A = this chain, B = another copy of it.
């Protein structure tokens, strides 16, 4: 069954959404706010394991995550796969599809999720009129570029332990920004997906977790991770080799 069948026209109210400051411009007049709500044409539920969009599909919309957790992954012609990111509530997906009007990666829900569908033509039309929205779209894209550069740094110059530490700190920080504990996290992805994202094999991911546990830096029970010593994690990253 196509996940699209879950799509539904709804009366949305970004102004009431508690994710507003995460995915919307902040300083808007009430009038502009109302107009921007028009952009969110519908919501769509995606069941765990299903894709929100796939490589090759026609690009029509950006998606803001209301709830749930996604991975985006990018495949080379010869079947290699790279997880390019993990996305959580308030984050925007689909930006890569604009250039060729086709999505170039897959977005898979790692837990049941709901997204706001934002028709891109509509975004463009409206951001010609509401400069706050225009600026916001530019910033979102620019932020994605900066984020990717950070991942390139990680992949290009860090060793396994530093990569995993960076990853955990980043997840914790994002969860914290959403009101969750800054030290207690539940990984939504498998070790293999973490490995793909961090450029290491599943066994290395597992061993590196074990090492962090041995060193008393984190506690790990399956996908439940508790950070015992944030400073030690930070030091792992900053004291390069």
Cβ of A238 < 8 Å from any Cβ of B? yes
A77 contacts which chain B residues (CB < 8 A)?
238
Copies of this polypeptide in the complex: 2
Task: Please give the distance in Å from A92's CB to the nearest CB on chain B.
Answer: 11
Give the contact-size bracket for chain A.
35 or more
Complex interface: stretch among A4-12, A95-103, A218-226: A95-103
Q: Are A95 and B149 in contact (CB under 8 A)?
A: no
Task: Please give the distance in Å from A56's CB to the nearest CB on chain B.
Answer: 13
Q: Are A82 and B144 in contact (CB under 8 A)?
A: no
Q: Are A153 and B240 in contact (CB under 8 A)?
A: no
Q: Are A152 and B84 in contact (CB under 8 A)?
A: yes
Complex interface: stretch among A45-53, A126-134, A169-177: A126-134
Cβ of A57 < 8 Å from any Cβ of B? no
Q: Are B149 and A74 in contact (CB under 8 A)?
A: yes
Cβ of A179 < 8 Å from any Cβ of B? no
Q: Are B98 and A157 in contact (CB under 8 A)?
A: no
Q: A82-B156, A138-B98, A156-B196 are in contact. Are A105 and B149 (CB under 8 A)?
A: yes
Q: How far is the CA of A76 from the CA of B105 in the complex (A)?
A: 27
Residues in A71-99 with C-beta less than 8 Å from chain B: 74, 76-82, 84, 95-99
* Those 8 A-B pairs whose CB atoms lie nearest each other, nearest first: A98-B142, A156-B199, A155-B155, A148-B148, A99-B142, A82-B153, A141-B141, A99-B143
Q: Which A residues are closer than 8 A to B by beta carbons?
A: 74, 76-82, 84, 95-99, 104-105, 124, 127-129, 131, 134-135, 137-146, 148-153, 155-158, 196-199, 237-240
Extra 20 A-B pairs, beta carbons < 8 Å, given A82-B152, A148-B152: A74-B150, A76-B157, A78-B237, A78-B238, A81-B157, A82-B149, A82-B157, A84-B149, A95-B141, A96-B142, A98-B142, A104-B146, A104-B149, A124-B138, A128-B129, A138-B141, A148-B148, A148-B151, A152-B155, A156-B196
